[in-house]
Amino acid sequence: MSSPNLRVAHVFVAGGLPTITYNPRSTRNLEEELRDYLDEGFKILSVSGPTKTGKTVLVRNVIPESDAFWLSGGSITSINDFWETLADKLNLFTDVEHSTDVKDEEWRTRQGGFGLGGLKGMFERKEIVGDTKGSKFTRSRHVSNQVREAINGLLEPIVIDDFHYIPQEVQLEIVRAIKDLVFNGLRVIVIAVPHRAYDVVRVEKEMTGRVQQVEVGFWSEEELLGIARQGFAALDFKDKGFELSDRLARESFASPHLMQDFCLQLCKKNGFRDKQDHPVELVAPEWNEFFSQRSSMTSKTAFDLLARGPRQRTDRQARKLKSGLEKDIYGVILEAISHTGPKVALTYEEIRAAIREILASDIPQRGQVIRVLEAMSKIAKKDLEGEPVVDFDKELATLYISDPYFAFFLRWGSR
């Protein structure tokens, strides 16, 4: 039973760990797969899924932070970072100090007499003279040796979130360093975006067959609707025929993060920030305004950086679109991506077909398009904070929209 003082922001949690609106997606058996892995072990578990689709929420719900050693891939830029972070988590000390003391003692007796008020007497006192000699030395153990000893046979799993943020050469070093420990039963879970899900195998061929995959995947509209239904019921809000919930789910790009945010903003748009003391009916906002306002707060900066390209240039060829606008090749490719819906994974052929549909002039050559896609991917990784909004895999000739908020901006944002 929900509290009468329940806050809307505590029910619809975008970017945090929801409780009331947590959806385990039971039909996919994701939690069971995680628990099976913890029971069985002897492999690395790769939990993959697009950004903001609940990978971390899923793992944290099954394995609370207190029951595992959680590492952030974004803070690991070298193999030493990996060992040092684990050493901190394990409260290990790498300096060992040894000391020795040697005492050179000699007893000395002092005697004397005294007289006081006609009284006479003798005294005798014994004391130690000499010195104490000692030595100290400190030896530093390599942090990797210290950590390896501590985690060999460790019962708690090691979870590396955002594994795809770690440079590939460092991924290789980490996998090679722990694969014997995994063989001995250490549980290691890496969380990554889907097209990087098999980084563990790609960087170390010997791990083939020793990586177990749990794919979180995009959410169905029915799964997204579960968030709205659970949350509105807890707050005593009514959504007639679930019409509002349906619309929000359709615009969420299969992301529970977006759905949580939309539900939160819809409640606020209706003037509610707390649970009501009696059932109230939610009313629809003006949808174009609602979504346009939400998009303006998401990825415009990312879009502008990608549209500008690696540097501002005045000599880029302007190409005319069928809409009458003129854009350089960076703008053309972004408009082509948007023209697809946008889809969140686009092959080169799909991008080329979209370019052909929107351009009034000749389409650019394959080499030009590939270079622009690579440049956009580089900008997204180096010039933008957080998860790269796009990522081009040259090997697969596929562009991934890694951030549903960026896809949402391409559909609704003013540019």
How many H-runs (helices) and E-runs (strands) does the chain carry?
A: 16, 14
Tally of structural domains, the chain: 3
Residues 257 and 405 in one domain: no
Range of weakest confidence among 20-34, 90-104, 112-126, 219-233: 112-126
Residues 254 and 395 in one domain: no
Q: What is the mean pLDDT of residues 173-201?
A: 83
Better-scored residue on pLDDT, 138 or 76: 76
- Residue 4 in domain: no
Query: Are 210 and 225 found together in one domain?
Result: no
> Do 319 and 403 lie in a common domain?
yes
Same domain, yes or no: 308 and 252? no
End-to-end CA distance of the chain: 45
Q: What is the pLDDT of residue 344?
A: 86
For the segment 276-296, what is each residue's pLDDT rounded down to a tens digit?
A: 889 999 999 999 999 998 886
Average of pLDDT values for 386-404?
A: 88
CA gap 7, 273 in Å, rounded: 6
d(CA 73, CA 191): 9
Please name the helix (run of DSSP H) or strand (run of DSSP E) that holds residue 354, with its range, or none. Answer: helix 348-358
- Of 168, 194, 215, the position where a domain reaches its end is 215
Q: Are residues 208 and 268 in the same domain?
A: no
Mean pLDDT lowest for which of 144-153, 342-351, 358-367, 378-387?
A: 378-387
Task: Examine the pLDDT at 145 and tell me if it is beyond 70.
Answer: yes
Ranked by mean pLDDT, the top range of 91-95, 301-305, 309-313 is 301-305
Using the 3D structure, point to which of 236, 253, 285 is the last residue of a domain: 285
Q: Is the pLDDT of residue 387 over 80?
A: no
Query: Per-residue pLDDT for 315 more than 50?
Result: yes
- Residue-range definition of the domain harbouring residue 173: 26-91+142-215
Q: Collapsing DSSP states into helix, strand and coil, what is residue 160? A: strand
Nearest-angstrom CA–CA distance, 156 and 169: 26
80 and 157 together in one domain: yes
Domain assignment present for residue 36? The answer is yes
pLDDT at 370: 96
**Does the pLDDT at position 20 exceed 60?**
yes
Residue 333 is assigned to a structural domain of this protein:
yes
353 or 405: which leads in pLDDT: 353
Is residue 361 very low, low, confident or very high in pLDDT (cuts 50, 70, 90)? confident
Confidence (pLDDT) at 87? 95
Mean pLDDT of 174-198: 85
Output the pLDDT for position 1.
45
Token pair of 150 as six digits: 């501590």
Identify whether 15 is part of a domain. Answer: no
164 pLDDT band, cuts 50/70/90, is confident
CATH code, 319: 1.10.10
> What is the DSSP code (8-state) at residue 217?
-
Range ranked top by mean pLDDT from 4-8, 128-132, 264-268: 264-268
- The pLDDT > 90 percentage for the chain reads 64
Residues above pLDDT 70, as percent of the chain: 82
Q: How many CB atoms lie under 10 A from the CB of residue 296?
A: 13
pLDDT bucket at 165, cuts 50 / 70 / 90: confident
CA dist list (Å): 319 to 70, 315, 325, 339, 361? 49, 12, 8, 16, 7
Contact yes or no for 383/394 (Cβ under 8 A): no
pLDDT, position 139: 59
Residues in the chain, total: 415
Q: Which residue has the higher pLDDT, 126 or 331?
A: 331
C-alpha distances (whole Å) from 72 to each of 85, 104, 301 are 9, 55, 25
DSSP for 231-282? HHHHHTEE-GGGHHHHHHHHTSTT-HHHHHHHHHHHHHHTT--B--SS-EE-
How sure is the predictor about 141, in pLDDT bands with cuts at 50, 70 and 90?
confident
Q: Taking all residues of the chain, what is their mean pLDDT, rounded to a whole number?
A: 87
pLDDT at 170 over 90: yes
Determine, yes or no, domain membership for 6. no
AA letter at 167: P
